[in-house]
A and B are shown apart, each in its own frame.
Chain A
Amino acid sequence: MVREQVPVADGLFTWPSDQPQLIGSHFPESGVTTFPVQASCPRTSSQVMHEVLLERRGTLWSWTIQGFPPKSPPYAGKEGPLGFVPYGVGYVELSGQVIVETRLTENDPARLHIGMPMELVIIPFTTDDQDRDIVTFAFAPVQEA
């Protein structure tokens, strides 16, 4: 049986989708793109804004590994201190758009380096009280063919 999957928040990414994309805001007057969507331009305060779908691929701009279980709340992971598995966190540069902060599917420091190609995926990271998977966005190293 396929478990039901629920996005962690509405409006962060297109879902359900075979080719999910993050949803950002673009401010034509300044050329600034933000993630997630916000109503006002952080540079000029302009409220002329268009939602845009962000590139699915980019390059790793920086990375770290979350090595200890975050406090809950705010963290919604349910694995507890003993079951905690360190997870990667990074910034991925989406060319011509914006650098987004994201979980990474890779948590091995030896397999992460700045500049490597990355691709958007949607991953389950916890469950809700109806035992549905809560999913969020993450970036994975691009598997070269």
Chain B
Amino acid sequence: MTDVAIVGIGIHPFGRHDSSGMEQGVVAARSALADAGCAWSDVQYAFGGSAAAGNADTMVSALGLTGLPFINVANGCATGGSALISGYNAIRAGAADVVMAIGFDKHPRGAFDPDPADFGLGKWYGDTGLMLTTQFFGLKIQRYMHQYGITANTLAKVAAKNFRNGSLNENAWRRKPMSEEQILNGAMLSNPLTQFMFCSPGEGGVALVLANADRAREFTDTPVYLRSAVLRSRPFGSFEVFNPWLAIERGNSPTVAAAQAAFEMAGIGPGDIDVAQVQDTESGAEVMHMSECGLCADGEQEDLIQSGETEITGRLPINTDGGCIANGEPIGASGLRQVYESVLQLRGRAGSRQVPGNPATAFTHVYGAPGISACTVLSR
């Protein structure tokens, strides 16, 4: 089977900007092409998307009307991950040797305000004040803390770590460290989660140039191999955002299935991972996704986080670029940002936030409505 390498990475800084989301995507695309040392005309296939900033294929008018096939991807929070999986599959299928995966976005301020009908729900669900992603995250971590003894201080430690990591990332939105006390004393948005534990919808763009691994050295001396890229929707019994009911018989989340499949396909296990980026829509999500991804057992997070093991210098560094908490969440770009950071770390070029010890393997995970998860495993 053909292997797939990431040979170019590009980013437009995350945050708030005057430019359109599409323009930010174009900046990311040009930057990825420059990093790969190739031209847009070398790209044979493209997959991209945004949730709120327009059709990705429109950007051919800025990048060049080369006539390449460009497929728009719309898959909620897994839009970027889905673009990546599509590119990965296109190369493995032999449809192309050089592919771009791109995601960008630009959201209004404040919490997302989706239409219930888009999620198969009656209008009553929104009318009565239940159509909020923030509530789901509060409800899920509340239950998890009750079951596994995770403390509020641990939630604060996660956010503090991510703000601290973000302060070392020139492309992050939130670049000011915050103390655990400040985080705990923030406005309570959805118990037990305060305003500083949540990420915010934002802006940014990320592009990746993928190549058939046999041709990777044409583009770069430091290819990073995409060992697996997997997407799963929710199984029966999972607990997801926008669920008016749950089954009493509890099951696993889509993250569990996606991560297991990603590790199986890559032929390595969670214990072999040197650096991980997992969806931290809020602090509790990072905690729960650690175990859902297989990086630890349920409840072990309390000790791991309290003892600093998920810091850049710890045994299992998580969200080394500050994650969603420091970067915000431009939906289309968010999953690709994790891969961008993983490539930097595996190249050894993450600067002041470089994980020590020459990391060789990386893992990424995104989660989104209405219960989808996408995971990748990468290695040098």
Contact = CB atoms under 8 A, between A and B. Distances in A.
A111 B244 CA distance: 23
Report, as a range, how many residues of chain B touch the other chain. 35 or more
A32 B237 CA distance: 10
A66 B132 contact: yes
A99 B127 contact: no
A112 to B, nearest CB: 9
A42 B237 CA distance: 10
Interface in A120-134: 125-126, 134
B123 A74 contact: yes
Given A63-B142, A66-B135, A74-B115, A9 B122 contact: yes
A35 B124 CA distance: 13
Interface string A82-97: 0000010111010011
Contacts of A34: 245
A118 interface: no
Interface residues of A, number: 43
B59 interface: no
Interface of A: 8-9, 12, 24, 32, 34-36, 42-43, 61-68, 70-71, 73-77, 87, 89-91, 93, 96-101, 103, 109, 114, 125-126, 134, 136
11 contacts: A24-B245, A67-B191, A70-B111, A73-B113, A74-B113, A74-B116, A75-B126, A75-B128, A103-B130, A125-B128, A125-B129
Nearest first, the 8 A-B pairs at minimum CB distance are: A74-B126, A64-B138, A76-B127, A9-B124, A62-B143, A71-B113, A99-B246, A35-B245
Interface of B: 110-111, 113-116, 122-132, 135, 138-140, 142-143, 146, 187-193, 236, 243-248
Given A12-B122, A73-B115, 15 more contacts: A24-B245, A62-B142, A64-B139, A65-B191, A67-B187, A68-B189, A70-B113, A70-B131, A75-B127, A76-B128, A89-B138, A93-B248, A125-B128, A134-B127, A136-B124
